[in-house]
Amino acid sequence: MDAIILQILNGLDKGSAYALIALGLTLIFGTLGVVNFAHGALFMIGAFCSVFMQRLLNVSHQIVDETQKDFLGNPLKVDVPYVKEWFGDAFGSALIDWSVPIAIILVIPVMLLVGWIMERGLIKHFYKRPHADQILVTFGLAIVLQEVVRYFYGANPIPTPAPSMFQGSIDFGVLLGFDPNAVVYPYWRLVYFLFSAAIIGLVFAFLQFTTFGMVVRAGMADRETVGILGIDIDKRFTLMFGLAAAVAGMAGAMYTPILSPNYHMGMDFLVLSFVVVVVGGMGSLPGAVLSGFLLGILQSFASMNEVKSIIPGIDQVIIYLVAIIILLTRPRGLMGRKGVMEE
């Protein structure tokens, strides 16, 4: 029993990332009808916003510390980050420590802007083109974004630790009445899960309870009629693209303590996220979220040693296998709407 709970928990953080990316992909597909292969790159850019924030807060200059001596007896030169100088030692180091969550403040405007530029500059011209063209042009864009990031940050993964407060693990089993140390779960993964649950909740609330969201939903259902009613639906859809980019970016920024970001992490996540979207049903937001978590958890079950000893290699292929089965038995995916991309 405790093993099962542990695997469910392990699947949650990966599942959250899949769900967030898939949510963005579905938003873009549902509103603009565009298949965005650059979405993984947006996730990656978000992750590197965290790296940027970490570096920014650590910008420092050397001062000569008279109280410390090096081995020759000369006064020691120490690097002091500017934030420590400006805000005092305690608050400054706290800022540096919390660089990953702070990056969220940076990620949202940056990603909204990136999304807006992408949509207005490139995607706009591809509404009427076939899906194959959209896939290809966004694939090219993904390569470009990836290479630009590689130029600035190099090819190696950059460790970005979580705040020290969250670096330990929580003994989750004790809360549920199991033996101590049976279900141990890192704090940050829990934070990530709660964070993504909150984001997903916010996106759904935005679409469900605001006038803006209502118009967008109406546009998703019948774009033409909404246009006839005198609403500039394109403008709102552009904003939705920005929102989708921001969701992917936040997913990436917060994921950095779990997986040190490297420049091709986006591609790795993209393929899986596409599979997630298809399993959930093209154009269905709840389907994307559901299948994201489902596949994340399935994957973590498949990587249990007990399962691997029965079917070797299953952990590597489970997601693709599930996708193939779903696509062949349920053409619409788990929760796809009737008539949307069915053939």
Partner 1 sequence: MFGLDQKDTKFLWIVVALTLLTPFILNPFPAESAMAQFNAGYPALMQRFAIYGILAIGFNLLFGLTGYLSFGHAAFLGIGSYAAVWMFKLVSMNVIPAILLAMVLSGLFALVIGYISLRRSGIYFSILTLAFAQMSYNLAYSVFTPITNGETGLQLSLSDPRILDAENTSGSLPVPNLWINMNASWDLHLGPWTFTLNAGYYLCAVIAIIAFYLSMRIFRSPFGLMLRAIKSNQTRMAYTGLNTKPYTLAVFVISGMYAGLAGGLLAAMDPLAGAERMQWTASGEVVLMTILGGAGTLMGPVLGAGFIKYCENIFSKINEGILHDWFSFLPDPIENVVVWIGARFVGDGWQLTLGVLFMLIVIFLPGGLVEGGKRIAKRWSKKTDTTTTPAE
Nearer to partner 1 (CB atom), residue 88 or residue 331: 331
Instruction: Name which position in 233, 248, 323, 335 contacts partner 1 (CB under 8 A).
Output: 323
The binding track of 5-44 with respect to partner 1, each residue x by CB under 8 A or -, is: ------------------------------x---------
Residue listed under structure tokens 């704090």: 187
Site for partner 1 in 149-188 (CB under 8 A): 151
Instruction: Name which position in 176, 205, 221, 324 contacts partner 1 (CB under 8 A).
Output: 324
**Shortest separation between residue 157's beta carbon and partner 1, angstroms:** 17
> Judged by CB under 8 A, does residue 312 bind partner 1?
yes
Instruction: Name which position in 22, 141, 215, 216 contacts partner 1 (CB under 8 A).
Output: 141
- Residue 265 sits at φ, ψ, to 5 deg, of -60, -30
Nearer to partner 1 (CB atom), residue 307 or residue 341: 341
Residue listed under structure tokens 């702070």: 102
The size of the interface with partner 1 (CB under 8 A), counted in residues, is: 39
The binding track of 119-138 with respect to partner 1, each residue x by CB under 8 A or -, is: ---x--x---x-xxx-xxx-
Nearer to partner 1 (CB atom), residue 66 or residue 343: 343
Instruction: Name which position in 275, 288, 294, 302 contacts partner 1 (CB under 8 A).
Output: 275
Secondary structure of residue 132 in the 3-state scheme: helix
Spatial neighbors of 49 by CB under 8 A, at least 6 apart, are 103, 106, 107, 110, 111, 249, 252, 253
* Alpha carbons 261 and 269: distance in angstroms, whole number: 12
> Judged by CB under 8 A, does residue 331 bind partner 1?
yes
Instruction: With both helix axes pointing from N to C terminus, report the angle between 2-32 and 285-302 in degrees, rounded to the nearest 10.
Output: 150
Spatial neighbors of 316 by CB under 8 A, at least 6 apart, are none
DSSP, res 37: T
**Shortest separation between residue 301's beta carbon and partner 1, angstroms:** 17
Helical (H) or strand (E) element with 178: none
Nearer to partner 1 (CB atom), residue 76 or residue 135: 135
Q: Are strands 60-69 and 75-81 parallel, antiparallel or unpaired?
A: antiparallel
> Judged by CB under 8 A, does residue 320 bind partner 1?
yes
Per residue, what are the HEC states of 197-265? HHHHHHHHHHHHHCHHHHHHHHHHHCHHHHHHCCCCHHHHHHHHHHHHHHHHHHHHHHHCCCCCCCCCH
Longest dimension (CA), the chain: 81
Query: Where do contacts with partner 1 occur on this chain (CB under 8 A)?
Result: 35, 122, 125, 129, 131-133, 135-137, 139-144, 146-148, 151, 267, 271, 274-275, 278, 282, 312-313, 316-317, 320-321, 323-324, 327-328, 331, 341, 343
